Amino acid sequence: MSKHIKSKDLYLKVYCEDTDFQGFVYHANYLKFFERSRTEFLIDNGISQEKLLNQQLVFVVRRMEINFISPARIEDALTISSLVRKNSNARLTFSQTAKESNSNKILCSAEVEVCLINSETNKPKPFHNDLLLLFG
């Protein structure tokens, strides 16, 4: 069984720009919220996407499954949580949730598989040791 790492929670407030005409969070914005959480995980663990980009290495989403459970509304406080699992030396899966901060009610969840590729060849590349060491 592979090791799971809990990333730090990301706290967000829903603004007017995040919502549709009904005042609900527009579905595509959950993807942005989850992306921010994945980026924070890398930053918190000393992994610079800018430095990787200079080496022609980029993280890409390979697969995503998302469940919209209940809508977040304008001015809601949200907590984005991520549990990270290493699938291989070149793939990670993020189990992510968007919860209402006050009630802890899950509003949206996703399984997101990311991989590291060479941006010139589009071929998978193994993670650097600093990332692999996180998983023991």
Residues marked active site are found at 20
Q: How far apart, in whole angstroms, are the C-alpha atoms of residue 113 and residue 51?
A: 21
What is the DSSP secondary structure assignment for residue 21, as one 8-state letter? T
Strand (E) or helix (H) holding 13: strand 10-13
Q: Give the span between the Cα atoms of 7 and 93, in whole angstroms.
A: 12
Residue with the two structure tokens 């802890």: 104
Residue 37, H or E segment: helix 27-44
Residue in this structure with the two tokens 């942005």, named with its chain if needed: 32
Task: Spell out the residues 6+ positions from residue 22 whose beta carbon is closer than 8 angstroms to its own.
Answer: none
